[in-house]
Amino acid sequence: MKSTLKNFIACFTLLSTLSFSQTSNTITPVKLPATNFADKYWSLDAYATVPLKQCGWGMGFGVFTPGKKIGMINPYLPIHLRVGGDFYFAELDRKHLGTLPLSAPQLGDAKVRLSQNNMGLNFTARFSTPYSKKFTPYVDVFAGYRYFGSGMSITPLEKQEEYEESTSDNLTKSNQFCYGGAAGFLVYLSPNVRFNTGLMITSSNKFGEITDIARARVDNGNIIAQKINTPKDMFILKVGFTFIIDDDNSDNDCTRSSRTCRSSGTTWGGGGRSSGTKANSVKINVRPNK
Protein backbone atom coordinates (compact mmCIF):
# COMPACT_ATOMS: atom_id res chain seq x y z
CA MET A 1 0.00 0.00 0.00
CA LYS A 2 2.76 2.41 0.95
CA SER A 3 4.64 1.47 -2.21
CA THR A 4 1.56 2.19 -4.34
CA LEU A 5 1.01 5.56 -2.61
CA LYS A 6 4.62 6.51 -3.14
CA ASN A 7 4.37 5.60 -6.82
CA PHE A 8 1.14 7.67 -7.17
CA ILE A 9 2.72 10.73 -5.53
CA ALA A 10 5.81 10.40 -7.70
CA CYS A 11 3.69 10.17 -10.88
CA PHE A 12 1.54 13.16 -9.83
CA THR A 13 4.63 15.24 -9.07
CA LEU A 14 6.16 14.32 -12.44
CA LEU A 15 2.96 15.16 -14.35
CA SER A 16 2.59 18.50 -12.52
CA THR A 17 6.17 19.43 -13.31
CA LEU A 18 5.74 18.55 -16.98
CA SER A 19 2.45 20.45 -17.18
CA PHE A 20 3.89 23.56 -15.53
CA SER A 21 6.91 23.39 -17.78
CA GLN A 22 4.72 23.13 -20.88
CA THR A 23 2.44 25.94 -19.73
CA SER A 24 5.35 28.19 -18.97
CA ASN A 25 6.87 27.57 -22.36
CA THR A 26 3.66 28.50 -24.16
CA ILE A 27 3.30 31.96 -22.55
CA THR A 28 4.27 34.69 -25.05
CA PRO A 29 5.22 38.12 -23.76
CA VAL A 30 2.71 40.90 -24.63
CA LYS A 31 4.32 43.82 -26.45
CA LEU A 32 2.54 47.10 -25.76
CA PRO A 33 1.90 49.22 -28.87
CA ALA A 34 3.93 52.38 -29.23
CA THR A 35 2.06 55.57 -28.34
CA ASN A 36 2.37 58.75 -30.42
CA PHE A 37 2.66 61.51 -27.86
CA ALA A 38 1.89 65.15 -28.59
CA ASP A 39 5.55 65.98 -27.91
CA LYS A 40 6.52 64.58 -31.32
CA TYR A 41 4.70 67.37 -33.16
CA TRP A 42 5.13 71.09 -33.73
CA SER A 43 2.89 73.36 -31.64
CA LEU A 44 1.31 76.77 -32.05
CA ASP A 45 0.48 79.21 -29.23
CA ALA A 46 -2.28 81.79 -29.81
CA TYR A 47 -3.09 84.11 -26.94
CA ALA A 48 -4.38 87.48 -25.74
CA THR A 49 -1.93 89.86 -24.04
CA VAL A 50 -2.78 92.05 -21.04
CA PRO A 51 -0.03 94.45 -19.82
CA LEU A 52 -0.38 94.56 -16.04
CA LYS A 53 0.63 98.20 -15.44
CA GLN A 54 -1.19 99.64 -18.45
CA CYS A 55 -4.83 99.72 -19.48
CA GLY A 56 -4.69 98.10 -22.91
CA TRP A 57 -4.60 94.65 -24.42
CA GLY A 58 -3.48 92.86 -27.60
CA MET A 59 -2.63 89.44 -29.00
CA GLY A 60 0.27 87.21 -29.93
CA PHE A 61 1.37 83.82 -31.19
CA GLY A 62 4.36 81.49 -31.04
CA VAL A 63 5.58 78.45 -32.99
CA PHE A 64 7.68 75.72 -31.34
CA THR A 65 9.52 72.61 -32.52
CA PRO A 66 8.74 69.10 -31.19
CA GLY A 67 9.96 68.37 -27.67
CA LYS A 68 13.41 66.86 -27.09
CA LYS A 69 14.16 65.12 -23.79
CA ILE A 70 17.06 66.80 -21.97
CA GLY A 71 16.66 65.42 -18.44
CA MET A 72 14.41 63.70 -15.92
CA ILE A 73 12.55 65.00 -12.87
CA ASN A 74 12.02 61.39 -11.82
CA PRO A 75 12.16 58.04 -13.69
CA TYR A 76 8.69 58.65 -15.15
CA LEU A 77 8.70 62.40 -15.85
CA PRO A 78 11.12 63.77 -18.48
CA ILE A 79 11.98 67.43 -19.10
CA HIS A 80 11.52 68.53 -22.70
CA LEU A 81 13.14 71.39 -24.61
CA ARG A 82 11.42 73.20 -27.48
CA VAL A 83 12.80 76.13 -29.46
CA GLY A 84 10.84 78.60 -31.54
CA GLY A 85 9.75 82.18 -32.16
CA ASP A 86 7.22 84.34 -30.37
CA PHE A 87 5.51 87.57 -31.50
CA TYR A 88 3.08 89.79 -29.61
CA PHE A 89 1.37 93.18 -29.93
CA ALA A 90 -0.36 95.22 -27.22
CA GLU A 91 -2.02 98.62 -27.10
CA LEU A 92 -0.84 100.23 -23.85
CA ASP A 93 -3.10 103.29 -23.85
CA ARG A 94 -5.46 105.34 -26.01
CA LYS A 95 -7.03 108.78 -25.70
CA HIS A 96 -9.76 110.52 -27.67
CA LEU A 97 -9.18 114.29 -27.84
CA GLY A 98 -12.54 115.12 -29.36
CA THR A 99 -12.69 117.39 -32.43
CA LEU A 100 -9.95 119.80 -33.50
CA PRO A 101 -9.75 122.24 -36.44
CA LEU A 102 -7.82 120.94 -39.42
CA SER A 103 -4.67 122.83 -40.40
CA ALA A 104 -4.82 125.21 -43.40
CA PRO A 105 -5.47 124.90 -46.25
CA GLN A 106 -8.00 122.35 -45.01
CA LEU A 107 -11.34 123.52 -43.64
CA GLY A 108 -13.53 122.03 -40.94
CA ASP A 109 -12.87 119.81 -37.94
CA ALA A 110 -11.59 116.30 -37.39
CA LYS A 111 -11.77 113.63 -34.71
CA VAL A 112 -8.34 112.96 -33.17
CA ARG A 113 -7.28 109.83 -31.30
CA LEU A 114 -3.88 109.15 -29.72
CA SER A 115 -2.52 105.67 -29.00
CA GLN A 116 0.52 104.05 -27.39
CA ASN A 117 1.66 100.57 -28.47
CA ASN A 118 4.21 97.91 -27.67
CA MET A 119 5.26 94.84 -29.63
CA GLY A 120 7.96 92.19 -29.39
CA LEU A 121 9.61 89.55 -31.55
CA ASN A 122 11.67 86.97 -29.65
CA PHE A 123 13.69 83.78 -30.07
CA THR A 124 12.44 81.47 -27.32
CA ALA A 125 13.53 78.27 -25.57
CA ARG A 126 10.76 76.44 -23.67
CA PHE A 127 11.40 73.92 -20.89
CA SER A 128 8.40 71.79 -19.88
CA THR A 129 7.09 68.43 -18.82
CA PRO A 130 5.44 66.35 -21.59
CA TYR A 131 2.52 67.93 -23.47
CA SER A 132 0.77 64.57 -23.23
CA LYS A 133 0.04 65.13 -19.54
CA LYS A 134 -3.23 66.59 -18.25
CA PHE A 135 -1.31 69.44 -16.59
CA THR A 136 1.96 70.76 -18.08
CA PRO A 137 4.00 73.51 -16.40
CA TYR A 138 6.56 75.33 -18.54
CA VAL A 139 9.26 78.04 -18.37
CA ASP A 140 10.29 80.20 -21.35
CA VAL A 141 13.61 82.05 -21.76
CA PHE A 142 13.91 84.50 -24.64
CA ALA A 143 15.88 87.33 -26.27
CA GLY A 144 14.90 89.53 -29.18
CA TYR A 145 13.44 92.89 -30.20
CA ARG A 146 10.78 95.15 -28.77
CA TYR A 147 9.17 98.37 -29.97
CA PHE A 148 7.35 101.24 -28.29
CA GLY A 149 5.44 103.84 -30.27
CA SER A 150 2.93 106.65 -29.89
CA GLY A 151 0.62 107.45 -32.76
CA MET A 152 -2.17 109.76 -33.90
CA SER A 153 -5.26 109.14 -35.97
CA ILE A 154 -7.00 112.10 -37.73
CA THR A 155 -10.46 111.57 -39.23
CA PRO A 156 -12.24 114.63 -40.75
CA LEU A 157 -15.91 114.95 -39.89
CA GLU A 158 -16.54 115.47 -43.60
CA LYS A 159 -14.50 113.98 -46.42
CA GLN A 160 -12.03 116.57 -47.74
CA GLU A 161 -11.53 116.70 -51.47
CA GLU A 162 -8.07 115.44 -52.49
CA TYR A 163 -7.39 114.30 -48.90
CA GLU A 164 -7.50 110.90 -47.21
CA GLU A 165 -10.60 109.78 -45.39
CA SER A 166 -8.43 109.05 -42.33
CA THR A 167 -4.73 109.67 -41.62
CA SER A 168 -2.60 107.79 -39.08
CA ASP A 169 1.12 107.65 -38.33
CA ASN A 170 3.70 107.42 -35.54
CA LEU A 171 4.49 110.47 -33.43
CA THR A 172 7.50 108.92 -31.66
CA LYS A 173 9.00 105.44 -31.49
CA SER A 174 11.77 103.49 -29.78
CA ASN A 175 13.45 100.24 -30.91
CA GLN A 176 15.20 98.12 -28.29
CA PHE A 177 17.01 94.82 -27.73
CA CYS A 178 15.17 92.90 -25.02
CA TYR A 179 15.40 89.73 -22.97
CA GLY A 180 13.25 88.00 -20.38
CA GLY A 181 11.23 84.95 -19.52
CA ALA A 182 7.80 83.56 -18.81
CA ALA A 183 6.26 80.92 -16.56
CA GLY A 184 2.92 79.23 -17.15
CA PHE A 185 1.06 75.98 -17.58
CA LEU A 186 -1.00 74.05 -20.12
CA VAL A 187 -4.25 72.21 -19.36
CA TYR A 188 -5.37 69.31 -21.57
CA LEU A 189 -8.66 70.03 -23.39
CA SER A 190 -8.51 67.61 -26.33
CA PRO A 191 -5.84 65.59 -28.17
CA ASN A 192 -4.80 68.65 -30.18
CA VAL A 193 -5.76 71.58 -27.91
CA ARG A 194 -4.41 72.83 -24.57
CA PHE A 195 -5.50 75.83 -22.52
CA ASN A 196 -2.44 78.06 -22.01
CA THR A 197 -1.85 80.84 -19.49
CA GLY A 198 1.36 82.45 -18.23
CA LEU A 199 3.08 85.60 -17.00
CA MET A 200 5.86 87.15 -19.10
CA ILE A 201 8.49 89.74 -18.10
CA THR A 202 10.37 91.59 -20.84
CA SER A 203 13.33 93.85 -20.00
CA SER A 204 15.82 96.15 -21.74
CA ASN A 205 18.86 98.14 -20.63
CA LYS A 206 18.16 100.75 -23.30
CA PHE A 207 15.77 103.62 -22.66
CA GLY A 208 13.86 105.49 -25.33
CA GLU A 209 11.37 108.35 -25.46
CA ILE A 210 7.79 108.30 -26.63
CA THR A 211 4.92 110.78 -26.48
CA ASP A 212 2.98 110.73 -23.22
CA ILE A 213 -0.57 109.93 -24.26
CA ALA A 214 -2.13 110.05 -20.79
CA ARG A 215 -1.28 113.73 -20.16
CA ALA A 216 -1.85 115.09 -23.67
CA ARG A 217 -4.32 117.99 -23.84
CA VAL A 218 -5.84 120.51 -26.25
CA ASP A 219 -5.01 124.22 -25.90
CA ASN A 220 -6.45 126.78 -28.35
CA GLY A 221 -6.88 124.18 -31.05
CA ASN A 222 -3.35 122.82 -30.58
CA ILE A 223 -2.44 119.47 -29.03
CA ILE A 224 0.09 119.84 -26.19
CA ALA A 225 2.04 116.73 -25.16
CA GLN A 226 5.32 115.78 -23.51
CA LYS A 227 7.77 112.91 -23.91
CA ILE A 228 8.32 110.17 -21.37
CA ASN A 229 10.90 107.39 -21.01
CA THR A 230 9.97 103.87 -22.00
CA PRO A 231 9.79 101.34 -19.13
CA LYS A 232 12.73 99.06 -18.39
CA ASP A 233 10.61 96.11 -17.28
CA MET A 234 7.13 95.11 -18.44
CA PHE A 235 4.87 92.37 -17.08
CA ILE A 236 2.40 90.88 -19.55
CA LEU A 237 -0.27 88.29 -18.80
CA LYS A 238 -0.90 85.75 -21.58
CA VAL A 239 -4.16 83.79 -21.85
CA GLY A 240 -5.03 81.56 -24.81
CA PHE A 241 -4.57 78.13 -26.35
CA THR A 242 -1.81 75.83 -27.60
CA PHE A 243 -2.56 73.76 -30.69
CA ILE A 244 -0.71 70.52 -31.52
CA ILE A 245 0.08 70.55 -35.25
CA ASP A 246 -0.54 66.91 -36.16
CA ASP A 247 -0.19 66.41 -39.93
CA ASP A 248 -1.70 62.94 -39.67
CA ASN A 249 -4.83 64.28 -37.92
CA SER A 250 -4.59 61.37 -35.50
CA ASP A 251 -5.88 61.45 -31.92
CA ASN A 252 -3.03 61.37 -29.48
CA ASP A 253 -3.49 60.68 -25.86
CA CYS A 254 -0.86 61.80 -24.80
CA THR A 255 20.05 105.01 -24.47
CA ARG A 256 17.65 107.55 -26.04
CA SER A 257 18.16 107.14 -29.72
CA SER A 258 14.59 107.10 -30.83
CA ARG A 259 13.26 109.27 -33.60
CA THR A 260 11.00 112.00 -32.29
CA CYS A 261 8.51 114.26 -34.00
CA ARG A 262 9.12 117.98 -34.42
CA SER A 263 7.89 120.36 -31.75
CA SER A 264 7.15 124.07 -31.25
CA GLY A 265 3.88 124.45 -33.04
CA THR A 266 4.37 122.01 -35.92
CA THR A 267 1.50 120.38 -37.75
CA TRP A 268 1.28 116.61 -38.02
CA GLY A 269 -0.06 114.36 -40.68
CA GLY A 270 1.22 111.07 -42.01
CA GLY A 271 0.11 107.58 -42.75
CA GLY A 272 0.10 105.55 -45.93
CA ARG A 273 -0.92 107.72 -48.83
CA SER A 274 -3.55 106.68 -51.29
CA SER A 275 -2.79 107.51 -54.88
CA GLY A 276 -3.49 111.23 -55.54
CA THR A 277 -4.50 112.05 -51.93
CA LYS A 278 -2.92 114.23 -49.23
CA ALA A 279 -2.56 113.67 -45.49
CA ASN A 280 -4.90 115.35 -43.06
CA SER A 281 -3.14 117.46 -40.40
CA VAL A 282 -3.73 119.25 -37.09
CA LYS A 283 -1.36 121.30 -34.90
CA ILE A 284 0.62 119.39 -32.27
CA ASN A 285 3.40 120.52 -29.96
CA VAL A 286 5.42 117.70 -28.35
CA ARG A 287 7.73 119.10 -25.69
CA PRO A 288 10.95 117.50 -24.33
CA ASN A 289 10.81 115.30 -21.26
CA LYS A 290 11.16 117.35 -18.08
Average pLDDT of the chain is: 81
**What would the DSSP string read from start to end of 223-279?**
EEEEEEEPPSEEEEEEEEEEEEE-TT---------------SSEEE--SPPPTT-B-
pTM exceeds 0.95 for this model: no
Range scoring the smallest mean pLDDT among 137-146, 222-231, 240-249:
240-249
Range scoring the smallest mean pLDDT among 35-39, 260-264, 280-284:
260-264
Q: Across residues 252-275, what is the average pLDDT?
A: 46
- Structural domains of the chain sorted by starting position, each given as residue range(s) with its CATH number in brackets: 35-287 (2.40.160.20)
Quick one: pLDDT band at residue 268, thresholds 50, 70, 90? low
Where is pLDDT greater, at 27 or 120? 120
pLDDT at 265 over 70: no
Q: How many CA atoms lie within 13 A of 268 on its CB side?
A: 30
**What would the DSSP string read from start to end of 133-200?**
SSEEEEEEEEEEEEEEEEEEEEEESSPPTTB-S-EEEEEEEEEEEEEEEEEEEEEEEETTEEEEEEEE
Give residue-wise pLDDT tens across range 111-139: 999 999 999 999 999 999 999 999 999 99
Report the distance separating Cα 59 and Cα 66, nearest Å: 23
| Torsion angle (degrees, nearest 10) of CA 13, 16, 20, 22 | 110
Give residue-wise pLDDT tens across range 210-236: 999 888 888 888 889 999 999 999 999
